[in-house]
């Protein structure tokens, strides 16, 4: 991702955060903005800003127009001084990363197709580095291009997962967002998903990542989006590097944004413990941080 593709906005005079950011835990929120209008974007940012579990935020389905611009600005007004907001070419949706206090250093996640849907950054929390990758997988698309962008993006992400160790050497990595696929064995079963879509979910484990929600809740049935029939889909996911999965203290879905009609998705929260001393297998802060 070039400098033009990922712009970090560290502007003067942001609003004071509603909650102090943790220095002992990486507390992340995944929120699908559902291409919000400017008015709804402000309501979304206000709701997010009130959460104590949202020091780091992955915003998916951010529109390319005035609503998306308003959301980035509203997040700053809600106390998120650091924002990585890729510019989307061709009027496509994008993914945005935001942080209350932790500096976000943009890095290249290695996703060559629709990279504005896969921004990545290093967040320094309490002296420790955490890699953050946000994902918004395309939907199946219009009839004339059914599944083309979705398949190409999934293949690009699956290939890039193996290279994240170089982008984030030795530090815990969280890959989170709206994958627009469900896990194998999803309840209820949705026959609409092909094997190639389930293979994308499996690609995370094959590349050394653990489904954080499943790590804590092996049998739980939760959904983050509901179709017109009322059937649920667990579309929103958070993965951590497998070696750091024991640091996952909490991972859950919050249906409040749906019930308040801020968006059509549930939000997802993840809390990752960061040990105070640098120890075996933990690199501690990078030089200069």
Structure tokens at 41: 């974007």
Residue 159 zone, left/alpha/beta (φ > 0; ψ -120 to 50; rest): alpha
Q: Within 10 Å of residue 225's Cβ, how many Cβ atoms?
A: 20
Report yes or no on whether pTM surpasses 0.75.
yes
Phi-psi domain of 8 (left: phi exceeds 0; alpha: psi -120 through 50; beta: other):
beta
What residue ranges do the domains of the chain occupy?
A: 7-273
User: What is the spatial distance between Cα 11 and Cα 239, in angstroms, rounded to a whole number?
Assistant: 30
pLDDT of residue 187: 64
CATH superfamily for 7-273 is Endonuclease/exonuclease/phosphatase (3.60.10.10)
188 half-sphere exposure, CB direction, 13 A CA radius:
10
The two tokens of residue 271 are: 């809390």
Is 42 within 8 Å of 189 (Cβ atoms)?
no
Instruction: Give the span between the Cα atoms of 15 and 109, in whole angstroms.
Output: 30
What's the Cα-to-Cα distance from 99 to each of 17, 224, 251, rounded to whole Å?
A: 10, 23, 19
Residue 21 backbone class (left: φ over 0; alpha: ψ -120 to 50; beta: rest): beta
Residues in the chain: 289
Can you tell me the distance from the alpha carbon of 41 to that of 66, in angstroms, rounded to the nearest whole number?
Answer: 10
Task: Name which of 259, 277, 274 is nearest 129 in CA terms.
Answer: 274
- pLDDT in 10s for each residue of the chain, 289 residues: 333 334 444 433 456 677 889 999 999 999 999 999 999 999 999 999 999 889 999 999 999 999 999 999 999 999 999 999 998 878 899 999 999 999 999 999 999 999 999 999 999 999 999 999 999 999 866 555 657 898 999 999 999 999 987 889 889 999 999 998 877 766 656 566 667 777 899 999 999 999 999 999 998 888 777 877 767 778 899 999 999 999 999 999 999 999 999 999 999 999 999 975 444 344 444 433 3
Report the C-alpha gap between 281 and 104 in whole angstroms. Answer: 23
CB 186 within 8 A of CB 235: no
pLDDT of 188: 58
Q: What SS3 string covers the chain?
A: CCCCCCEEEECCCCCCCCCCCCCCEEEEEEEECCCCCHHHHHHHHHHHHCCCCCCEEEEEEECCCHHHHHHHHHHHHCCCCEEEECCCHHHCCEEEEEECCCCEEEECCCCCCCHHHCCEEEEEECCEEEEEEEEECCCCCCHHHCCHHHHHHHHHHHHHHCCHHHHCCCCCEEEEEECCCCCCCCCCCCCCCCHHHHHHHHHHHHCCEEEHHHHHCCCCCCCCEECCCCCEECCEEEEEEHHHHHHEEEEEEECHHHHCCCCCECEEEEEEECCCCCCCCCCCCCCCC
């Amino acid at each position: 991702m070039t400098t033009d593709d990922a712009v970090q906005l560290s502007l003067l005079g942001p609003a004071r955060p509603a909650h102090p950011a943790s220095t002992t835990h990486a507390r992340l929120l995944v929120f699908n903005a559902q291409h919000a209008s400017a008015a709804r974007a402000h309501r979304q940012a206000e709701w997010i800003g009130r959460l104590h579990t949202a020091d780091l935020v992955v915003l998916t389905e951010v529109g390319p127009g005035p609503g998306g611009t308003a959301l980035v600005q509203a997040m700053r007004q809600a106390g998120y001084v650091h924002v990585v907001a890729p510019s989307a070419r061709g009027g496509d949706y994008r993914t945005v990363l935001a942080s209350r206090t932790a500096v976000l250093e943009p890095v290249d996640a290695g996703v060559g197709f629709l990279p504005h849907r896969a921004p990545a950054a290093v967040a320094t929390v309490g002296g420790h580095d955490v890699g953050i990758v946000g994902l918004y997988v395309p939907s199946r698309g219009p009839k004339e291009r059914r599944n083309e962008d979705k398949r190409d993006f999934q293949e690009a992400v699956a290939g890039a997962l193996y290279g994240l160790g170089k982008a984030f050497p030795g530090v815990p990595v969280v890959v989170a967002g709206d994958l627009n696929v469900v896990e194998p064995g999803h309840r209820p079963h949705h026959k609409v998903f092909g094997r190639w879509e389930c293979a994308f979910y499996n690609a995370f484990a094959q590349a050394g990542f653990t489904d954080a929600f499943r790590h804590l809740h092996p049998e739980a049935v939760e959904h983050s989006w509901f179709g017109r029939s009322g059937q649920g889909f667990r579309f929103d996911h958070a993965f951590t590097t497998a070696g750091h999965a024991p640091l996952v203290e909490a991972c859950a879905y919050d249906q409040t944004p749906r019930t308040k009609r801020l968006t059509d998705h549930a939000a997802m929260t993840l809390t990752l413990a960061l040990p105070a001393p640098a120890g075996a297998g933990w690199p501690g802060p990078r030089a200069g941080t």
